[in-house]
Amino acid sequence: MSLVVSPASPCPILCVGLACLDIVNYCDYYPQEDSDVRARDQKWCSGGNALNTCKVLSLIGRHCELVTTLGEGMETDFIVSEMDRYGVPHSCCVPYPQCRLPTSYIVLNTTNGSRTIVHYRNLPELTCEDFLKVDISPFSWIHFEGRCPDVYSKLVSRVQEHNQTAENKIIISIEVEKTKIQFSVLIPLADVLIVGKDVAQYLGYQTMEEAVVKLRETAKHSAIVVCPWGDKGAAASDKDGKVYQCPATPPARLVDTLGAGDTFNAGLIHSLSLEKGVEKSLQFACDLAGAKCGMAGFDGLKSFC
Ligand code: ADP
Ligand code: FRU
């Protein structure tokens, strides 16, 4: 059954990045190494930053699509059926026969909502050739989950080239949240740059405010720079360098933080694309992500807007 019943809104959004299978083990506590514990429950869920962001956008009534690579087999079949359920089209996804979909094994601690992820993949990443086949002209916003910077920087260049002649410019947002990649090449490319706490700390920034101020030095001159900081909330600086800080919106009970950042991104993109401004958009993103932390999975966000 589809979760999406409302008519799709204008200004479609394209997300580029990961789709994977999340095998979530719900445990009363985080197990000790080399112990033997029993999970209370186990669920197969669709995951991956880009797919999670698409799911949330779709749940809050936005038309969005995903570009990713897909494998073959029961994991991929499951993800495709989940995308149908969320109303996220998969016609732009690139199938790689004889490859399995990436899988995350997740321990979700039901006492404090923490999620510990062990991710495995051997599926090829999206290539420039794959992305060239996608007609990007219908989209008003393209969000890139910052993966493989050498390839993704070329994907972004393609959107920038399109923008040089297009009447309706596509806004480019980029999320940089992994320290293990050579992410610096992505930083100057975004109109909306979202830098995760781990990356900010890796760069030596002590606070989210410091991060958004210092990141402006290498970001695009007119960029909006955003830094989510877990249960502390998020900060942003606007095109003029004005800094905003928004505390997190704590749920009544912390249930599940898996995908909080992806939900935050969806809320931010949704609100900024409706020209609500940086301050309001930061608040909306924190409210949406906080609501997500208070529920298992994402489906309850359907009643958020
Ligand atoms: P992730 O680790 O999933 O990428 P973050 O930890 O950076 O995500 O959090 C993203 C956003 O989610 C934060 O800016 C905040 O708004 C919200 N958030 C995260 N953890 C909590 C929490 N414990 N309570 C309320 N909101 C939270
Ligand atoms: C959450 C998530 C999970 C996935 C993992 C990949 O942000 O996208 O759904 O398993 O991160 O790193």
pLDDT at 5: 46
pLDDT at 180: 79
Ligand 1 contact, 196 CB (< 6 A)? yes
In the reported structure, the alpha carbon of residue 247 is separated from the centroid of ligand 2 by a whole-number distance in angstroms of 23
- Residue of 263, 302, 303 lying closest to 285 (CA atoms): 263
Residue identifier of the C-alpha nearest atom 6 of ligand 2: 48
Beta carbons within 8 Å of 239's beta carbon, 6+ residues apart: 222, 223, 224
Number of domains in the chain: 1
C-alpha 229: how far from chain center: 15
Testing ligand 2's pocket by substitution, the residue of 15, 16, 18 carrying the most ligand atoms inside 8 A of its CB is 18
Query: Please, where are the H alpha helices in the chain?
Result: 49-59, 74-86, 128-132, 149-165, 197-202, 208-215, 260-273, 278-293
In a 3-state reduction of DSSP, which class is residue 171?
Answer: strand
pLDDT at 212: 98
Ligand 1 contact, 294 CB (< 6 A)? no
pLDDT at 104: 98
Ligand 1 contact, 258 CB (< 6 A)? no
pLDDT at 9: 58
pLDDT at 4: 53
Asked if the structure places residue 34 within a domain, the reply is no
Domain with 67, as residue range(s), is: 13-29+40-299
pLDDT tens string, the chain, 305 residues long: the values are 555 544 445 689 999 999 999 999 999 999 999 999 999 999 999 999 999 999 999 999 999 999 999 999 999 999 999 999 999 999 999 999 999 999 999 999 999 989 999 999 999 999 999 999 999 999 999 999 999 999 999 999 999 999 999 999 999 999 999 987 889 999 999 999 999 999 999 999 999 999 999 999 999 999 999 999 999 999 999 999 999 999 999 999 999 999 999 999 999 999 999 999 999 999 999 999 999 999 999 999 998 87
Asked if the structure places residue 6 within a domain, the reply is no
Asked if the structure places residue 304 within a domain, the reply is no
Count each helix (H run) and each strand (E run) in the chain, helices first: 8, 14
Handedness of CA 40, 59, 223, 172 (dihedral sign): positive
Testing ligand 1's pocket by substitution, the residue of 175, 249, 264, 268 carrying the most ligand atoms inside 8 A of its CB is 264
Atom of ligand 2 nearest to the CA of 22: 10
Asked if the structure places residue 7 within a domain, the reply is no
Ligand nearest to the CA of 177: 1
Asked if the structure places residue 4 within a domain, the reply is no
Asked if the structure places residue 139 within a domain, the reply is yes
User: Tell me, what CATH number does 243's domain have?
Assistant: 3.40.1190.20
- For 109-126, the DSSP string reads ETTT--EEEEEE--SPPP
Contact (Cβ atoms closer than 8 angstroms) between residue 98 and residue 72:
yes
Asked if the structure places residue 2 within a domain, the reply is no
Ligand 2, pocket residues at CB < 6 Å = 20, 22, 47-49, 52, 104, 117, 119, 258-259, 261-262
CA distance 154 to 128: 7
CA distances from 240 to 172, 243, 244 (A): 18, 9, 12
In the reported structure, the alpha carbon of residue 101 is separated from the centroid of ligand 1 by a whole-number distance in angstroms of 26
In the reported structure, the alpha carbon of residue 251 is separated from the centroid of ligand 1 by a whole-number distance in angstroms of 11
Asked if the structure places residue 5 within a domain, the reply is no
